[in-house]
Amino acid sequence: MPITSLSEKRILFVSGKGGVGKSLIAAGLAKELADSGKRVLLAEIGETSYYRDFWGLKQEITHIPSKHPTEKFDLALWSGETSLREYVLFYLKMERLYNLFFENKVMRALVNVAPGLSEIAILGKITSGIRKVGPPMNYDVIVVDSYATGHALALLEAPKGMMEAIKFGPMGNHSREMDQVIKDEKIMSYIVVTLLEELPVTESIEFRDKLKKEFGVSPSIVANKVMHAPVTGDEIAETTQSKNSGLAEFARHIKAVNERKEKYEKLLAESGSKIVEVPLIFSADPNELTKKTGEALRAL
Ligand SMILES: Nc1ncnc2c1ncn2[C@@H]1O[C@H](COP(=O)(O)OP(=O)(O)OP(=O)(O)O)[C@@H](O)[C@H]1O
Ligand SMILES: [Mg+2]
């Protein structure tokens, strides 16, 4: 059974607080969709590949997609620099500008610090298939393992900044197109990954509210690493009264953990976001982790 609510989407944008499991959730989504017959690209954003280490791959993960050796999806790594290079060459068709940017050390340094330029290039790459520009992207869906919330927001805000700075010409037009794509929920779906703990939940709610306010989109929320005690609440409550003080203390601890979990579940649910839980998986095998994560995400 594929992930029905996401099966028509073209771009799945995964973000969340640092370390909460964004990359694993993105991998699980990619696997689930690819196994259901979709042509899927799992795209990492950044300078170095996480997935190469995760799966212990021999091949380099580069800007140009390559096949995963064992899974049915492709992998790519899009950095500001590789995306900008492509942007200048393919979209603006300015070879001289390209040379000016990349053959000159000073220009290159400037490009790297210019506000929004890397972001616009990366977002340009993410949305290029939809906008039908640049090298062909023969995928039904691109799963984007994006930055953590703050930087992800800067990525999504880049077109607006660019539109304000450059009203006319190709860059202004491209920015307008990108801005339309990221606001179109028929095309894009946002997935915010969190743990059921105070800081990630607070950050996720803030991020979700900003996505709603600035782009009019409502993300789904994935609560990751959720632990389900294989006993009922009543059984735990009873055990807290045990004469065995060690056992009673342990039961009180479990009870407190459960109460915290429920509190954060409630907090996330209050806003009406769709929430799906992925269990804490007891395995170090990347294939097992990805498969189990994908299975849990079918509920999305
Ligand atoms: N549900 C889970 N069960 C077990 N382990 C998990 C689960 N989710 C994530 N992990 C593990 O937790 C660690 C952090 O996950 P991951 O690297 O996906 O987080 P991230 O949000 O992408 O981090 P970063 O912000 O550094 O990119 C990894 O070792 C991952 O395999
Ligand atoms: Mg990651």
Distance from the CA of 46 to the center of ligand 2, in angstroms? 10
Inter-helix orientation angle 198-215/245-270, to 10°: 10
Length of the chain: 300
pTM, full prediction: 0.92
Ligand 1 pocket mutation pick from 13, 14, 22, 24 by most atoms within 8 angstroms of CB: 24
Q: Residues whose CB is under 5 A from ligand 2 (ion)? A: 22-23
Among candidate residues 45, 196, 195, the one with its CA nearest the CA of residue 121: 45
d(CA 137, CA 174): 17
What's the token pair of residue 289? 């982790």
Residue 295's pLDDT band (boundaries 50, 70, 90)? very high
Ligand 1 binding site (Cβ under 6 Å of any ligand atom): 16, 18-24, 148, 224-225, 278, 280-281, 289
For residue range 196-226, list pLDDT tens digits in order: 999 999 999 999 999 999 999 999 999 999 9
Ligand 1 centroid, distance to 291 Cα (angstroms): 14
Query: Does the structure show a pLDDT above 60 at 233?
Result: yes
Between 271 and 119, the higher pLDDT residue: 119
Domain 4-228+273-297 carries which CATH code? 3.40.50.300
Ligand approaching nearest to the C-alpha of 152: 1
Whether residue 110 has pLDDT greater than 80 = no
Q: What is the pLDDT of residue 135?
A: 86
CA of 24 to the centre of ligand 1 (A): 6
68 has pLDDT over 90: yes
| Residue whose pair of structure tokens reads 């649910």 in the numeric block | 269
Q: What's the gap in Å between 286 CA and the centre of ligand 2? A: 14
Angle at which helix 149-165 crosses helix 198-215, to 10 degrees, equals 20
For a pLDDT cut of 70, what percent of the chain falls above it? 94
Above 90 in pLDDT, residue 272?
Answer: no
- With 60 as the cut, is the pLDDT of residue 1 above it? no
State how far the alpha carbon of 28 is from the alpha carbons of 8, 90, 138, 213, in Å: 17, 32, 20, 28
- 87-100 pLDDT, tens digit each: 877 766 667 777 76
Of 270 and 18, the structure prediction assigns the larger pLDDT to 18
Give the span between the Cα atoms of 121 and 127, in whole angstroms: 10
Q: How confident is the model at residue 111 (pLDDT cuts 50, 70, 90)?
A: low
